[in-house]
Every structure is written in structure tokens, then in C-alpha cells.
Amino acid sequence: MQGVRLILLPFSWIYSSILLLRNWLYDRGFFATYNIPGPAICIGNITVGGTGKSPLTAYLANEFKGDNPVILSRGYGRKTTGLVCANEHSTATEIGDEPMMYWQRFQQKVPVIVAEKRKIGVEWIRKNHPNSLILLDDAFQHRAVAANCSIVLMTYDRLIYNDFTFPAGNLREPASGIKRASLVLITKCPANLSEEKQQIIQRKLNVQSDIVFFSSINYSTPIPFLDETWKPVKQVIIVTAIANPSQLVQHFSQQATTHSIRFADHHEFDRSDIQKIQQKVANFAHESTAIIITEKDAVKLEKWKKELAACQVPIFIQPMDITIKNEQQFKDIIHGYVANSNERSS
């Protein structure tokens, strides 16, 4: 693996140089940036893969429910183009798995808009929801628009100062891009992370220590995908199509024997995938077995409920939320940004 990384390093240097030039051109005004009027929060990351943007977006939508939040996403993996507003007839195929998950989680009370061109999405929202707080999901590198508050996420096990840009590493852009962030959230931390370790990370990130926060994942009681009631089992078969399911697998491995069926992030399930799941169940299932899926994957597996029910084992959705250390301070900072933007736009 180290040898492959060395081979790819020159390509990473070229890629980094291009991105540094791009950022410089945006910073100097050679490329136009649309500054979003009114309150807007960008949730993004510098690394590829699952850093926990979806749980944070949901957290913010709930925290700011009094500010009329609207979620704006690119709708990655959808089969449509242009601007689409989620409605009661929407599917994950039409708007993407994450937007569909938001739409279902908030029971259609939070508008969800998808648009690959974020400026078009923002302008539509400002016209149709003029007093809303826009939550831009995964838009940190989309510099054609700028929110007044940007939150950058990275996982505890993949900190950016230990990494390279793509393709030798996992960085979407050079680590210096973090300086554009209003807040930095280290996600998927151990629940008992020491103050000393937090301070070391804060120093190495080379940003103001008071904008760096830490969070861990909270798994609540699984909810039924079919009609069963959750009870502890001896064996679980974990089916995921997310970027990084390792912590979910680790969570269940502490309480049961685990088997994992992993698909690529945003994967759209087809009949052959369902047959693969059925075969896995046939090989391993016994009377104390359950299938575990994520909220994000549940919206795509909805159309395969009948086939999955034929597995004759209970299927549960594992909800995932975040717990933020020094949460009140974190919320106070964001509320300050929202209040300031409301004052400027009034």
C-alpha cells in the first residue's frame, strides 16, 4: 500500500497545485462567488468518504427548527437533473438517498431541495422560502456559492494532517483549505476522548482552538423495517451502502456475531443485490438473527420490502445521531452566525 501511495504522489501534487490555484483565483475574485443573502450554513468536509455530514445536517435542522430550515443538496446518485423539490411522491431515485432520508426523518416538515447548481437552488429557496435558514449539504468545495457559516467535518481516525490529496490520499483539497471554515467538527471520536488528546489535535490542525469541536456517534434502539419489535439477537447481518460502515459494524460486534454485506456509497440496489442478501441469510441465519440497515439505505430498499421479507428474519433500521462535546458552546457560535446574518438581511 505504501508503494502504491509513493507512485501516486506526483499525481497528488499536480492535483493539489490545480486546487490551490483554483482557491487562489476564488480568493482574489477572479472567479465569481455568490454570497448567499440571509442565514445559510454550509456542511462539508475536506476528506472523501463518510465523515458524518448527514447526522450533522439533521442535527442542525432540528436545532434551528424555529428558523424555518431548508435543506439544499446536490442529490448525489439521483437519476434526475436540475432543481427538484422533495414531495410525498418522491423516491431516492429521483432526489438521492440522503435527501430522501431527510424528507422522511422530518416527516415532510423540512423542505428538501436538490440542485447540482447550488446558486440556482439558493435563489429558488430565497424566492419561495424568503425567511428560511439554508443548510447546504456537502458544499464546502462548491465555491461558486458562499454561506456565512461553514462547518468542516473530519473523522477522528482520518485527520487531515496525516493525509494526502487524491489519488495518493483521501483529501478532496489541500489541508490548508480548512482555514476557510467557521467551525471544525471532529466526528466519530471515542466517547472517552481525553482533554489532552483533544488539545493535541487542535494544535496540529493549525486553526483557532476555540473553533474545533469533537463529537461521537450515538446509536439508539433499532426501529423495524418490517413489523417486528427489536430485541437483542446473537447474530446480525449488516447491509450497508455508505462510505464508512466500520463504526456501525464495531458497535454490533460488541453484542453479537456480525456478518457484513458492503456496497459502494450511494449504491442503488438491484435484484442481484437482493439475491446476494438472501443467500447470505440462508448461509448464516438461525433463530436469533437480524438484518441491520441504515436510514440512508432504508429509503432505497423500500421497493424491495417484499423480497427482503422472504428472508424470514427480522430487519431493523439503525438510527444514528451525534453527541457533541461542549455542545452549548458549539450551538452558541452557530446561533451567533445566524443572528448576525438575519440582522444584515433585515
Residue 300 contacts residue 269 (beta carbons within 8 Å) = yes
Q: What is the pLDDT of residue 345?
A: 64
pLDDT computed for residue 3 by the predictor? 74
Q: Given this model, what pLDDT does residue 1 score?
A: 57
**Per-position pLDDT tens, the chain of length 346:** 577 788 899 999 999 999 999 999 999 999 999 999 999 999 999 998 789 999 999 999 999 999 999 999 999 989 999 999 999 999 999 999 999 999 999 988 999 999 999 999 999 999 999 999 999 999 999 999 999 999 999 999 999 998 999 999 999 999 999 999 999 999 999 989 999 999 999 999 999 999 999 999 999 999 999 988 898 899 999 999 998 899 999 999 999 999 999 999 999 999 999 999 999 999 887 779 999 999 999 999 999 999 999 999 999 999 999 999 999 999 999 999 999 887 666 5
Distance CA 138, CA 158 (A): 18
Residue 177, pLDDT score: 96
Long-range contacts at 296-299 (CB < 8 A, ≥ 24 apart): 296/54, 296/97, 296/98, 296/101, 296/241, 296/242, 297/97, 297/239, 297/240, 297/241, 297/242, 297/269, 298/101, 298/225, 299/91, 299/92, 299/97, 299/100, 299/101, 299/104
pLDDT of residue 296: 95
Q: Report helix, strand or coil for 260.
A: strand
Q: Is the peptide bond before 314 cis (omega within 30 degrees of 0)?
A: no
Look up residue 265 and give its three cell numbers: 456509497
The pLDDT value recorded for residue 287 is 77
Which pTM value belongs to this model? 0.93
Radius of gyration of the chain (CA): 21
* CA 119 – CA 127 distance, rounded (Å): 12
